[in-house]
Chain A
Amino acid sequence: MDAETPGTGEAPAIEARGLTRNFGKLVAVDHVDLTIPRARIYGFLGPNGSGKSTTIRMLCGLLEPSAGTVRVLGHEMPRDAERMRAKLGYMTQRFSLWDDLTVHENLNFMARIFGLAGATRDARIAELAAEFDLEPLLPQRAGTLSGGQRQRLALAAATLHRPELLLLDEPTSAVDPRSRRDFWESLFVLVGRGTTILVSTHYMDEAERCHRLAILDRGRLVAEGVPKQLMAGIPAIVVEIEAEEVASAREALQEDAAVKSIAQLGTRLHALLDPQTVDAAARVRGRLEATGVDAQVAIVHASLEDVFVAATGFRRDARAPAAVEA
């Protein structure tokens, strides 16, 4: 899982410099620099409206950047968008195959669009149907499929032509946990064959599975790196507080200037303290004892959620993306 050395010695799959997109006065994507290595899963983590979809749409030539340059698989975008298309697989946020066509008809249509000829086409559809467990569903209309089944169909359709690059825009937002796990297994299989995958998500557990991660907030790239390193290098001390009276504990800590943010995880609190704080655990314990709150306090490793909160500048309104959704 070392993402620092890409699988091949080639140029990165995607290189963006100063990528910017305005919609009227709104700056949806604000000077984003990206270097996405080949044959890796690269994640975009951010809440809704953070610019994930807009960035992906610029990368595949659907939107023209207001400023900045993008090279995808060595092609200048959006100028060479047409030449890049045959090497690209794209899964939209919404299911965008045809509800009134069967699974087989959908795959067959997309295969024809990608220019797969007769025998190759049939073989490839059969192969993918087996791989994505779609065989019994082939004669069924896509509109009658479950969320997870649609997911598999969409991924199968996006990989029919063996693309070098897969762009997946929140592929698992409408899928149960079991299907999400299966879906990620499929992604790792594809990466193993050399495919580069760019996936946007607002799930922390998914983000953690990526080889590399970019955290986006309000159109800006606020953190970038390998998930483990991001967690290790968090510019804060993470103190976990386990207490019966969570609300009182929270109230007590909010007064402290060293506490940059507090997030609740069930009966636990994660407080992010200024990295300069001396003996952070003792300080928190002292605070809580002074207000009569009984609690277990310990310094813990940062979770990706903590990284997200730290990266978004400890804003009071900066809730973790998964919390926004759930």
Chain B
Amino acid sequence: MFGRILAVTLKELRQLSRDRLSFGMIVGIPLMQMLLFGYAINFDVRGIRTAVVDEADTSYSRALVAELGATGVVRFLAPSASVDELRRRLNAGEISVGVYIPADFERRRLQTDRASVQLLVDGSEPLIDTVARGLAAVPLPQRPGAVAPRTSPFEIRTEYNPERRTAVQIVPALIGVILNMTMVIFTAAAIVRERERGNLELLITTPIRSGELMAGKLLPYVLIGLIQTTLVLVVGAWIFDVPVNGGLLHLYAAAGLFIAATLTLGLLISTVTKTQFQAFQLAFFTMLPSILLSGFMFPFDGMPKPAQWIAQVLPLTHFVEMIRGIVLRGAPITDLGTQAAKLAVFLTVALVIATLRFRKRLD
């Protein structure tokens, strides 16, 4: 039995090593995605193009502009002469934020019931509005020695990611996205390809059992999945300074469970498709909801109920929770039993369906 599983595994690895493109994808997909998500998708916005109309032109107003500039969030272009010009530049897309300091800034500053400065924000771009709200929290400059009034009653502390870097949130979950993408496609394609090329017709007339064939075909991809996990962690630590706070053993245990779940999903897809093209289509069909609904990019709690139900069925949702828990919060896998159990349920159900569907027949 193990002889046959080993024979299939060795054959798969040998074929994979000769298929340079697929082999490259094993390393290429994680690297490309890491750099793409790590650099391009960045929720810490910096250098927003901004212009000022300072009608007050007092030492305070100039100090306020300097404070805003010091945050690094805004980058000041040439000041405007009037609010109308500010609006025109905003409309033309030249700037995203306009700061209007009215002539009576000094008087307004002492009144608590009126705003002293107006921010004009381009609401058509994502995130700018959120950033502007952040800017509004910048305290007004104080005279030396004067008691600073509390500008906000809240103090925000961001746990596990004190610098609030997006990479820290993205990279661990990216392990899940990358595994989800490669594992499902690779396994579905590996089985459907043999069906397409006629190899399967020959294989199923031999004494090999379905279970042996499946196990032999999936094993190499477990190995590849663990390699990809390691790659993402190493590159994440090296380029994006993403720490691994939890135990590596816990991390690999969670990754192993998730790899098994995604492989089974690939297996399931392979049993319902006849061509590689169909397999790719179906794999992508499951991919997009996985990425959008898993909480990888958008907070899970903000989603409407039906979306949350769908997300519960997708293995990525549970893995994203687990991997963030282990990597960032340093939680042991035992604290993540609920998520692990949900993954195990998915794995079992999908495996049963796939096994029932895959028979050693052509009809």
Contacts and interface: CB of A to CB of B under 8 A. Distances in A.
Interface of A: 57, 60-64, 78, 81-82, 85-86, 88, 90, 92, 94-101, 105, 109-110, 112-115, 117
B205 interface: yes
Majority-rule SS of A interface residues: loop
A86 B199 contact: no
A99 B8 CA distance: 15
Nearest to B363: A63
A82 B207 contact: yes
Contacts of B19: 100
B206 A101 contact: no
Contact of B199 (A81, A85, A98): A98
B360 interface: yes
B7 A109 contact: yes
B361 A63 contact: yes
12 contacts: A62-B201, A82-B207, A85-B205, A92-B202, A98-B11, A100-B15, A101-B11, A101-B14, A109-B10, A112-B3, A112-B6, A114-B206
Interface in B314-363: 360-363
Nearest to B4: A113
B203 interface: yes
A99 B199 CA distance: 10
Nearest to B17: A100
A114 B205 CA distance: 11
Contact of B205 (A60, A64, A95, A100): A60
Contacts of B3: 112, 115, 117
Nearest to B208: A113
A97 B202 contact: yes
Give the top 6 A-B pairs by smallest Cβ distance, nearest first. A112-B7, A96-B198, A96-B202, A90-B205, A94-B198, A85-B207
Interface residues of B, number: 27
A285 to B, nearest CB: 53
B114 interface: no
A161 to B, nearest CB: 9
B143 interface: no
A119 B23 CA distance: 33
Contact of A96 (B14, B18, B197, B360): B197
Contacts of B198: 92, 94-96
A87 to B, nearest CB: 10
A101 B8 CA distance: 13
Majority-rule SS of B interface residues: helix
A53 to B, nearest CB: 10
Contacts of B205: 60-62, 85, 88, 90
A321 B237 CA distance: 68
A99 B4 CA distance: 20
A61 B361 contact: yes
B201 A92 contact: yes
Nearest to B7: A112
Contacts of B206: 85, 110, 113-114
Nearest to A116: B3
B4 A112 contact: yes
Contacts of A95: 198
B15 A64 contact: no
Contacts of B6: 112
Given A114-B207, A115-B3, 12 more contacts: A60-B205, A61-B361, A62-B204, A63-B362, A85-B205, A86-B207, A96-B199, A101-B14, A101-B15, A113-B203, A113-B207, A113-B208
Interface string B1-44: 00110111011001100110000000000000000000000000
Nearest to A90: B205
Q: Which of B8, B197, B205, B361 has the most chain A CB within a 10 Å cutoff?
A: B205
B204 A100 contact: no
A98 B15 contact: yes
Nearest to A169: B201
A300 B56 CA distance: 120
Contacts of A115: 3-4, 207
Contacts of A99: 197
Contacts of A96: 197-199, 201-202
Contacts of B10: 109
Contacts of A92: 198, 201-202
A313 B203 CA distance: 39
Interface string B183-220: 00000000000000111011111111100000000000
B360 A81 contact: yes
A85 B209 CA distance: 11
A24 to B, nearest CB: 12
